Amino acid sequence: MGRIDQIEELFHQARAVAQEERAAWLESRCNGDAELCQEVASLLEANSEMRSSAPIPAAPDLSVPTAKFGAYRAVELLGRGGTSTVYRAERADGQFSQNVALKIMAAHLGGPEFLRRFEIERQLMATLNHNNITRLLDGGVSSNGDPYLLTEFVEGEPLDRYADSHKLDLDARLRLFSQVLEAVDYAHRNLIVHRDLKPANILVNTEGNVKLLDFGTASLLARPTDITLTRVRMMTPRYASPEQLKGERLNISTDIFSLGVVLYELLCGGWPFGDPNSVLSELNRITGKVAPTSLTSCATAEAAGSRSVSLQNLRGLLRGDLSTIVLKMLENEPARRYGSARQVAEDIERFREGRPILARPRTPWYATRKFVTRNWLPVSAASAAVLALAALTVFSVNKAAQAREEAARAQRVSDFVKNTFLSASSTWTSPLRGQSRAIEFKDVLDNAAERVGKELSNDPVAQADLLGTIGGTYSVLGNPGKGELLLRQALDVLSRSGRGASRKAADLNVFLCNAYSYQGRYDEALKACAHGVELARVYGSELSVGAVLNNTGFMAAKSGAPLAEAEKYFREAEANGPTEPRLAKLWPAINNTRIGGLRVRQGDLAEGERLLRDSERLLRSEPGPPIEILPTLDALAVAARIRGNYPEARRWLEEALELLRQRPTSYMGSGDQLEIELAANETLAGQPQGLSRFQKVSAAVEADSGAPVESVRFHLLAGIVESGNGLRPSAERHLRAALATSQKELARQPADRVEIYLRLAQTLAASGRNSEAADVAQQGLHCAESSYAQFFQGHPMVTELRKLGGSSTALVNQ
Amino acid sequence: MPPDVPVEREITRLLHRWKEGDREALASIASLAYDELHAIAIGYLRREVPGHTLQATGLVNELYLRLAQVRGIQLTDRRHFYTFAAQLMRMILIDHARQTRALKRPGSAERVPLHEEMAWIDASSDEMLALDVALDQLEVLEERKVRVLELRFFLGCTNEETAQLLDVSRATIDRDLEFAKTWLYRRLSQPPNSGS
């Protein structure tokens, strides 16, 4: 123990000993170390001296300036602040005994620039003529050079004190607050922002009317030339918005935030961000990471008492809509707050009348969005917007239900979305089939589409957000044209508000991409998606860059882009995994399935099947297995068919169909595709049930095969089934249709034609048309040679084609 | 006005050095950002009415923002930031006292207002300078106590907050303060030239 520690220890111990016994106590502890003893004694003496000398407060300067301010002179000091001193004043000539308030700006604010702005702002403020705003009577510069303002003198109490001393209940408080909102809205419409709204600036006079003080003073004092010196003092940190604390540009949203804090305190009696007297809690707000405490948990028994209700009732009243309203005012992001004070007033009015409010509760919306994000991939290109639809419906259902329990609500929403999603997907497969299910949501949608343009014009981000959601929903509900229109409108709103290049724009492009793809406009779809990728790379995406890339790869493959190009997107997607833990875990499997499938199609069976097997292993290691295994099983079946192992292909497909029966999902459509695939493999394995299986679903699948890729696949499989069952003329028609579509629409994906040539050659050979069969086999070999490249030699299809070409030629030459 | 980029980079480098224990770096930072920081602080001091408390929060807000604008600085380390802010605050106040003393007419008793709890010192410019010297002396004996005093009085943190920041118990801070205040009181009550 060092010397100083020894001294300190004795000092603390001695302080606990009674004064008169200390000397003896210390003596006994110092073990003859006289110096130590003296040092501690000296400190103890200093300590008691320090404790007995009370600080003397400086006498306040109560004097009143003698100068004249216009026609007025100061009479009595009312208050002093950092930037001004306020006096009660009366006319110097004594003509009227009317009281006015005189506010003299602090001398250090002077200077020519300040005076010029002072004059402009003063004139602006003079135009405010509202019952709830203190009137500016005069202003100018005194003979001493001090700028001053003369305003109506208000005798009243600050809002919070008034409400508590009158024990106002919540409804009375809300009515008072509505007066505040009306005044603030009036000022905003006159382009004047308050910037320093707080209870001390909101007085309630003896008649119970609200009077706002100091309108425009804060902006008057914020000198553009001297921002660092003044900006912090120009606000009260306790009521300041995050953007104000950060010194950013301010607009009316700042006042909305401050009013949010005022309302919060008025309702529950506490500050939303912790202990208002703590330096730390205030500083932490600058980081913007502090979320408001919930209204209900802030309420105390004392607060309930001054609101004339029991604590339990107060909590009950604060739950739900009032929370939603206050939290919307307190959003960190200005764009997420109410667009105007009037909108707040209207929601409060709705609440008071027991009607549904317009603000959307943040939690469920957030929960829904999270759900969409998490499930983006399973619903991938085909039906992501089904979830958006569900989200929208949740929103309106919630509003209608007026749910009061926030926590329970989040859970219900999550359940509702899941149920909507599942039930929708089991009966609804594709927008192109135009199922009647859309009717149920049509009213909600049309109504929302109509409202969004009107009500959110002040808030482009929210507007674009909602337009995007509705647009995406229309797309999947069989009206992708209207969806496309709304989505482009959403993008337009964003770019007009200067956010054309943003995270939101990235997301909207992905939705637009889907809208195009539903209309069969794959080139435009790919373009939108690729643009989305570019934006997402820079700004990120709600859906994660990886998810956007994955979707783009999907679209590229579908639009007929070279398979290698699609593969590139998936490879990049794999490297940019999403953060959501479940998806992140499955991510390699999800992308390797796609890459593996593409490798197989390009003739690289070895690498393709290796990737598919890897994916399969990863997915099977998860409990379930997860539904994401469906495309893996499907791709493994295709690979097995190409290798000529039809029983193996059948096993993959049977497993996939069983899984789909247990857990319906729109991930793979209705499963009809898989049935056709299975029918083809049964036929190739020589089993007769393939034909009836095919006939059961063929009409539906054919109608559903909008994309050239799907159409080609359908015709190929139909050809295989019919050819194997002796229906050769029809089979030939299917196969030739597949070939024609592939050549015309999918010219840049030649590898897929190899199998068509093979099946056509087999069909022709079976009909004894050997010369044609030999020709087609030859074309198939050419096609394989150019598209399989290094995988040409030893490829099972190539071997088949050679065999068939050889035997047909031999038969021709016989 | 946004700071010059080269200055930012230099500040970043110095802050890292300061975090690693280089005490000289603090003075270098202060001199780099001096004009701005000084203007901010003096703005506060000037606007304070005598007898009122100095609102350190406003100054610290500014300081935080100023540093937050410095790219690459991780202000997530609260303890470093606040102890830094407290020390910087002390430097600025002392510096102001020095200038005031140079300017003032003999016999005038201009007061440098500190946090209200600092009233037991009732600091004039001379006393502020004496306090600074005394704090340096105490720091030789017990560094942590000076950090506690700085947080408590120059930044206006409560005892609870100080304890949280320094990751010690509230009781320890209470004891630290009692002892440190006593030690300083005795030191400042003594004639300037006597040793301790």
Is A48 touching B (CB cutoff 8 A)? no
| Residue-wise pLDDT tens digits, A334-357 | 888 898 899 999 999 988 887 777
Distance CA A594, CA A570 (A): 7
Inform me whether the pLDDT recorded for B1 exceeds 70: no
| Residue-wise pLDDT tens digits, A357-404 | 777 654 433 333 323 322 223 333 223 333 444 444 333 333 333 223
Inform me whether the pLDDT recorded for A35 exceeds 50: yes
Q: What is the pLDDT of residue A552?
A: 84
Is A50 touching B (CB cutoff 8 A)? yes
Phi, psi of A136 (to 5 degrees): -85, 125
Distance CA A692, CA B153 (A): 88
The count of structural domains within chain A is 5
Which residue numbers of A are catalytic? 196
Which residue pairs from A136-144 have beta carbons closer than 8 angstroms and sit at least 24 positions apart in sequence?
A137/A100, A138/A70, A138/A71, A138/A72, A140/A69, A140/A70, A141/A115, A142/A65, A142/A67, A142/A68, A142/A69, A142/A104, A143/A67, A143/A68, A144/A65, A144/A67
Q: Indicate yes or no: CB of B1 within 8 angstroms of CB of A228.
A: yes
| Nearest alpha-carbon partner for A699 in A716, A689, A714, A679 | A714
Count CB atoms within 10 A of the CB of residue A407.
9
Residues A321, A373 share a domain: no
Residues A499, A374 share a domain: yes
Average pLDDT of A223-250? 57
Q: pLDDT category, B12, cuts 50, 70, 90?
A: low
How far apart are the CA of B61 and the nearest CA of chain A, in angstroms? 7
CA angle B172, B175, B176 (to 5 degrees): 85
Residues 6+ apart with CB under 8 A from B98: B125, B129
Distance CA A634, CA A359 (A): 45
User: A336: which DSSP letter?
Assistant: G
Average pLDDT, chain A: 78
Domain range for A807 is 753-814
The answer to whether A696 and A659 have CB atoms below 8 angstroms apart is no
Inform me whether the pLDDT recorded for A142 exceeds 90: no
- Name the more confident of A381 and A594: A594
Q: pLDDT category, B101, cuts 50, 70, 90?
A: low
User: Residue A83: inside a domain, yes or no?
Assistant: yes
Inform me whether the pLDDT recorded for A592 exceeds 90: yes
Is A397 touching B (CB cutoff 8 A)? no
| Nearest alpha-carbon partner for B95 in B152, B41, B50 | B41
- Name the more confident of B79 and A489: A489
- Name the more confident of A44 and A666: A44
User: Residue A700: inside a domain, yes or no?
Assistant: no
Q: What is the pLDDT of residue A673?
A: 86
Average pLDDT of A400-425? 33
A676-693 CB burial, b ≥16 within 10 A, e <16:
bbbbbbbbbbebeebbeb
The percentage of residues in chain A with a pLDDT greater than 70, rounded to a whole number, is: 75
Domain's final residue, options A310, A332, A354 = A354
The answer to whether A445 and A477 have CB atoms below 8 angstroms apart is yes
- Chain B's closest residue to A236, CA to CA, is B58
The answer to whether A704 and A692 have CB atoms below 8 angstroms apart is no
- Name the more confident of A703 and A386: A703
User: Residue A644: inside a domain, yes or no?
Assistant: no
- Poorest-pLDDT segment among A273-287, B31-45, B128-142: B31-45
The answer to whether A235 and A247 have CB atoms below 8 angstroms apart is no
| Residue-wise pLDDT tens digits, A59-80 | 445 677 777 888 888 888 877 6
Is A234 touching B (CB cutoff 8 A)? no
Residues A529, A438 share a domain: yes
Instruction: List strands edge to edge, sheet with A202-205.
Output: A156-158, A202-205, A210-212
Phi, psi of A519 (to 5 degrees): -90, 5
Residues 6+ apart with CB under 8 A from B131: B121, B123, B184, B188
Task: Decide: helix, strand or coil at residue A73.
Answer: strand
Q: What is the pLDDT of residue B107?
A: 39
Domain ranges of chain B: 5-189
Is A224 touching B (CB cutoff 8 A)? no
Q: What is the CA radius of gyration of chain B?
A: 17
Q: What is the pLDDT of residue B53?
A: 36
User: Residue A36: inside a domain, yes or no?
Assistant: yes
- Quick one: tokens of A691? 């034909």
Helices vs strands, H then E, count in chain B: 9, 0
Residues A348, A469 share a domain: no
Q: pLDDT category, A445, cuts 50, 70, 90?
A: low
CA distance to A494, A531, A533, per residue, from A500 (Å): 5, 12, 14
Q: What is the pLDDT of residue A81?
A: 57
Residues A206, A350 share a domain: yes
Inform me whether the pLDDT recorded for A137 exceeds 90: no
Distance CA B71, CA B6 (A): 11
Residues A381, A307 share a domain: no
- Chain A's closest residue to B180, CA to CA, is A8
HSE, side-chain direction, 13 A CA sphere, residue A776: 25
The interface predicted TM-score (ipTM) is 0.72
Is A799 touching B (CB cutoff 8 A)? no
- Chain B's closest residue to A44, CA to CA, is B182
- Chain A's closest residue to B156, CA to CA, is A279
The answer to whether B65 and A286 have CB atoms below 8 angstroms apart is yes
Q: What is the pLDDT of residue A525?
A: 86
Q: What is the pLDDT of residue A683?
A: 95
Average pLDDT of A748-776? 95
Inform me whether the pLDDT recorded for A526 exceeds 50: yes
User: Residue A593: inside a domain, yes or no?
Assistant: no
The answer to whether A249 and A286 have CB atoms below 8 angstroms apart is no
| Residue-wise pLDDT tens digits, B178-189 | 899 888 888 877
CATH number, position A149: 3.30.200.20
Helices (H), A560-580: 563-575
Chain A residues inside the 8 Å CB shell of B58: 232-233, 237
Residues A460, A389 share a domain: yes
| Nearest alpha-carbon partner for A389 in A291, A511, A553, A230 | A511
Q: What is the pLDDT of residue B187?
A: 82
- Quick one: tokens of A368? 């829904």
Q: Indicate yes or no: CB of A237 within 8 angstroms of CB of B58.
A: yes
Q: Indicate yes or no: CB of A46 within 8 angstroms of CB of B186.
A: yes
- Name the more confident of B115 and B15: B15
Q: What is the pLDDT of residue B35?
A: 54
Distance CA A558, CA A546 (A): 18
A295-314 CB burial, b ≥16 within 10 A, e <16:
bbebbeeebbebbebeeeeb
How far apart are the CA of B20 and the nearest CA of chain A, in angstroms? 24
Distance CA B188, CA B196 (A): 10
Average pLDDT of A402-408? 31
Which residue pairs from A68-75 have beta carbons closer than 8 angstroms and sit at least 24 positions apart in sequence?
A68/A92, A68/A142, A68/A143, A69/A102, A69/A104, A69/A140, A69/A142, A69/A148, A69/A150, A70/A138, A70/A140, A70/A150, A71/A138, A72/A100, A72/A102, A72/A138, A72/A150, A74/A102
Pick the most confident of A394-408, A488-502, B145-159.
A488-502
Reported pTM: 0.45
User: Residue A671: inside a domain, yes or no?
Assistant: no
- Name the more confident of A388 and A157: A157
Q: What is the pLDDT of residue B29?
A: 62
Q: What is the pLDDT of residue A438?
A: 31
Q: What is the pLDDT of residue A452?
A: 59
Distance CA A584, CA A596 (A): 19
Residues A186, A90 share a domain: no
Average pLDDT of A114-119? 69
Q: What is the pLDDT of residue A111?
A: 60
CA distance to A276, A611, A613, per residue, from A576 (Å): 43, 18, 22
How far apart are the CA of B138 and the nearest CA of chain A, in angstroms? 10
- Poorest-pLDDT segment among A238-252, A303-317, A444-458, B82-96: A444-458
Q: What is the pLDDT of residue A691?
A: 93
User: Residue A609: inside a domain, yes or no?
Assistant: no
| Residue-wise pLDDT tens digits, B66-78 | 555 543 444 445 5
Distance CA B143, CA A41 (A): 23
Q: Indicate yes or no: CB of A286 within 8 angstroms of CB of B43.
A: no
Distance CA A469, CA B24 (A): 57
Distance CA A241, CA A285 (A): 9
Handedness of CA A114, A115, A121, A125 (dihedral sign): positive
Inform me whether the pLDDT recorded for A664 exceeds 90: no
CA distance to A87, A142, A700, B134, B175, per residue, from A77 (Å): 4, 17, 87, 41, 43
CB-nearest to B64 from A11, A106, A283 is A283
